[in-house]
Structure 1
Amino acid sequence: MGYVPQASLENLKKYSYKGVDKSVISRYVLNPFWTWFVTLWPLTVAPNTITLMGLTIVFINFFTMLYYDPLYLTVKGGAEGPPNWIYFTWAFGLFAYQSLDAIDGKQARRTGMAGPLGEMFDHGCDALNTTLEVVLAAHALNLGRSWWTVASQIATLANFYLTTWEEYHTGQLYLGHFSGPVEGILMIVVIYLISGFCGPSFWDQRLFTVTRLQHIPAVQKLPNLPLNEAFMVFGALGLGFNILSSYSNVRFAMKLAGKPRIRPLVLLLPFVVAASLQISWLAAPTYHNNDIIHSPNFVPFLCAWGLQFAHQVGRMILAHVTNTPFPCWDWLWVWSAVGALDANLPHILGRPPVIQASMKNTTIFVWLTLILSFLVYARFVILVINDITNYLGIACFTVRKKGEDGVWRTKDFKA
């Protein structure tokens, strides 16, 4: 039983990756390093293996956070978090992830394994990493369990969705002069390093106080936000710029193709629907201190949200590489809608929630949501990998190809 429609499998052979990266840092600093770094890897190592190694490092960072702060207690004025040296490991891990994520494509071209499977696998790992880094970065910024962390999740996922939506309509991955995969990641690395040296409480200081600008008359008219909240405002401005930039690129592509220029905007609604369901669930009126954001249920809730998002954008990328219609519906919305509706019953009908009537029941339901989201996404990943590898006669984690005689052979590399 496959996932990709049989009639669309032929389009896999027509797919070719196209990308544009206008980052100055990427061109003159990182790319020379990546070009050297990839030469250290044997040609027998599959590109997807390198990608998976990078994601594994991020998971190790995430689990160290849970080990040293199992209930995610870093709330403003709350309990202590992990020791400061942990943030240095997060910085190293994220930079390692960025490097491995960058060279997997180079390794694919070196080994002749470039194709739609690598595109799917790379973007799938990026989608998972997005939520993990939101949790870690919020921890390092001392935002903890708060609406600021939720806002960070929304902005980060929205940026990723926009990039995928843009790639679907333009046929190429576009990274501007300032992009999340390059400058955005480097900014988070710097945040980890500062938290390692100064501690997360450093980010509670006021922006103009730290920069010694509070005495300038023009500056005094502006709110003196804490550094962490100022960073969130900067992220919101970046999101607004990316929205305009992405739509400009899509509009230009639609104009060249002679297609409607407004219709692609409708395909942004699936993200709005998905995010609205999660926000309405979190914003439900507190019943018997049953509050997800300010409880240990917050991290599993965000992880479930991240897995559902990975499933959503994974289907978008699959539609791109198979040239099939844009996916607009996800049945996981039904489960999230049930959770949101149940939590809001006190506000809607003036009666207690049916499922989430206590903190214990809420915890069970949130963890069931996480498990269901994981199973749905895992099924998607397994079936898509099977469909692509079987049709193209390739392996996912080894440099092998099926010959015309049906025998799998390791690729014969020439010096």
Structure 2
Amino acid sequence: MGYIPEHMLENLKNYKYRGADKSLVSRFVLNPFWNWLVTLWPLSVAPNTITLTGLSIVFFNFATLLYYDPLYLVEREGYSDPPRWVYFSWGVGLFVYQSLDAIDGKQARRTGMAGPLGEMFDHGCDALNTTLECILASRALGLGRSWWAVASQIATLANFYLTTWEEYHTGILYLGYFSGPVEGILMIVAIYFITGAYGPQVWDNRIWTTLHLENVPYISRLPNLPLNEAFMVFGAVGLGFNIITSYINVLRATRQSHAKGGNNNLTARHDSNYPPLLLLLPFVVSTAIQVAWLSHPEFNHSWILHSASFVPFMCAWGLQFAHQVGRMILAHVTGTGFPVWDWVWVWSLLGAVDANLPSLLGRAPVFQTSTRNTAIFVWVTLAISLLTYARFVTLVINDITNYLGIACFTVRKKDERGVWRRVGEEKVL
């Protein structure tokens, strides 16, 4: 019942991480800092421990939102504005997360623990962080429970999916001159700090008015959007640019593999029954399911979008996405086929169909007959999504550690007699 076919376990030993980071900020500013930061960690600390520490900080930030803004989780309109220091803590926490996420690979090379497990663990934590930061950033921007927050979730997850899709087909994790893990995170950190200094209402100011450009020819003809909506438009432009660059990289890799020939994993992927572009559809389908559920026609507004069900809905969506991209990364490190379908979507599909029965069949929903029943359905979906992802993580970690003879959170390997030894000792496999 594991996720890795037994005949594909051998590919784990052949996996090697390949990355390309073109970011000038990363190269000239952050990387020297990261090189110093990793030296503060003892060699006895496992890379995955560093990764999990960073994610724990994000969980703490998310907990402060729910504690200081309880209206986010109750059936009432409006919000409680958290203390200003909370926003600063989100900014510091996200920067620390970025730093720890950047040095876990460096620690892996220092300790000789680099491999597919670290790749899986790192991407899994990044996938979880993506949704949590969408919720936090939407709150900091004053977007709250709105379609703008949903658009933020879609754009952010799409960027993550694109990067994973690109890595699967090229074998390389590309980070461009402007990437989410570097510049994108720094922008969110800046948003948290600005909100901490001036409050969420600062994002209601109009962009051209704030920049004193509202009377400049040509610019004055453009919509004078609020700052938070302008930021969303900027994100949409960035997403479009990433789609183009990712497609170019995949197209180039496909042509090169066909020109060289051979029987390597990348060639097999490019010769599969599914053209690379077609493998973007799983994300489109899964997103369409969530949007259809949110936009059901009952009353004038969605019960989920403007209720306490919004946060658990977003979290369930994020867990399902983490399961989806986790299987994509697993397919990458094991050389297996691309996961086109994910059964974890079924529960959300059921919720979307049930909520839209009035427009589909002209009858009332079967399960979501009231706000309370809808909330129960959403929370059950969250529980199922959480258990599914927890099962995935547990089984994959067990498969990889048992086959490679390594530990997840300690710098140890098994020798030929099955005895655990620290990395670097003699007779270590």
Same-fold status (TM-score > 0.5): yes
Distance in 2 of aligned mates of 1:118 and 1:17: 10
2:154 corresponds to: 154
Distance in 2 of aligned mates of 1:96 and 1:79: 27
The answer on whether the counterparts of 1:43 and 1:413 sit within 8 Å (CA) in structure 2 is no
| DSSP 3-state at the match of 2:218 | helix
Say yes or no: does 1:173 pair with 2:173: yes
Show CA shifts across 1:50-83 (max 9, x none).
Answer: 0000000000000000000123289xx9333211
The answer on whether the counterparts of 2:368 and 2:374 sit within 8 Å (CA) in structure 1 is yes
Distance in 2 of aligned mates of 1:17 and 1:413: 24
The answer on whether the counterparts of 1:140 and 1:200 sit within 8 Å (CA) in structure 2 is yes
Distance in 1 of aligned mates of 2:351 and 2:300: 17
260-269 or 296-305: which moved more? 260-269
Structure 2 unaligned blocks of 5 or more: 259-269
Scaled by the length of structure 2, the TM-score of the pair is 0.94
One-letter amino acid of the counterpart of residue 17, structure 2: Y
Deviation of the 1:345 alpha carbon: 1.0
Distance in 1 of aligned mates of 2:137 and 2:388: 27
What's the C-alpha RMSD, in Å, of the aligned pairs? Answer: 1.8
| CA distance 1:290–1:241, change in 2 (3 Å) | closer
Distance in 2 of aligned mates of 1:349 and 1:201: 43
| DSSP 3-state at the match of 1:409 | strand
The answer on whether the counterparts of 2:71 and 2:79 sit within 8 Å (CA) in structure 1 is no
Deviation of the 1:349 alpha carbon: 2.0
The answer on whether the counterparts of 2:91 and 2:190 sit within 8 Å (CA) in structure 1 is yes
Deviation of the 1:359 alpha carbon: 0.7
Distance in 2 of aligned mates of 1:64 and 1:413: 44
> Structure 1 residue aligned with 2:286, among 244, 266, 274?
274
One-letter amino acid of the counterpart of residue 332, structure 1: V
Say yes or no: does 1:29 pair with 2:29: yes
Distance in 2 of aligned mates of 1:288 and 1:218: 37
Q: What is the correspondence of 1:67-78 to structure 2 with a 5 Å cutoff?
A: 67-72=67-72, 78=78
1:11 corresponds to: 11
1:47 corresponds to: 47
1:381 corresponds to: 393
| CA distance 1:363–1:103, change in 2 (3 Å) | same
Q: What is the correspondence of 1:248-397 to structure 2 with a 5 Å cutoff?
A: 248-258=248-258, 259=270, 263-287=275-299, 291-397=303-409
1:226 corresponds to: 226
Deviation of the 1:85 alpha carbon: 1.1
1:134 corresponds to: 134
The answer on whether the counterparts of 2:134 and 2:149 sit within 8 Å (CA) in structure 1 is yes
| CA distance 1:289–1:252, change in 2 (3 Å) | closer
Show CA shifts across 1:125-184 (max 9, x none).
Answer: 000000000000000000000000000000000000000000000001000000000000
Deviation of the 1:286 alpha carbon: 2.3
Distance in 2 of aligned mates of 1:301 and 1:330: 18
Distance in 2 of aligned mates of 1:344 and 1:209: 42
* Runs ≥4 residues deviating over 6 A: none
Distance in 1 of aligned mates of 2:318 and 2:230: 24
Identity %: 71
One-letter amino acid of the counterpart of residue 83, structure 1: P
Deviation of the 1:20 alpha carbon: 0.2
1:404 corresponds to: 416
